[in-house]
Amino acid sequence: MKKEFAVIGLGRFGSSICRALVEKGMEVLAIDIDEDRVNAFSNIASHAVMADTTDEKTLKELGIRNFDHVIVAIGDNIQASILTSLILKELGVKHITVKAQNDYHEKVLSKIGADRVIHPERDMGKRIAHQIVSNNVLDA
């Protein structure tokens, strides 16, 4: 059976994850509070819905607990990111990945029980630095 994913927050990061999952042939539900962002994904994702994911009732109605993996890509609104992640955890979502905006945010998400917390700018910065150093070593 195909794995089912939900991506919450369709900013640059969430959009990119959503597109990549669709390209890999996955079933993806795209969710955002912003109607324009949702409309932009109506032809890309398997389903696209406008919803405020800090509302537990809405998440229940979407049947979010049946998804295999939910990615929370709400960045700037840290409060909404934390509350959404907490509700997902309480509803028993099997696997939750959350984008953190800063170290404090990351700490809270880990405490809540997010399975994976990512910090794209920091993680990519580290990776690029490693690559630069290893290229220099090879060039030397």
Interacting residues with ligand ATP (CB under 6 A):
8-14, 31-34, 37, 52-54, 73-77, 80
Minimum CB separation of residue 64 from ligand ATP in Å reads 12
Cβ contacts of 73-76, under 8 Å, gap ≥ 24: 73/7, 73/8, 73/9, 73/10, 73/11, 73/13, 73/14, 73/17, 73/99, 74/8, 74/9, 74/11, 74/14, 74/99, 75/9, 75/11, 75/13, 75/99, 75/101, 76/101
Minimum CB separation of residue 107 from ligand ATP in Å reads 18
Minimum CB separation of residue 113 from ligand ATP in Å reads 19
Q: Which is nearer to ligand ATP, 46 or 77 (CB)?
A: 77
Q: Which is nearer to ligand ATP, 90 or 132 (CB)?
A: 90
Q: Which is nearer to ligand ATP, 76 or 139 (CB)?
A: 76
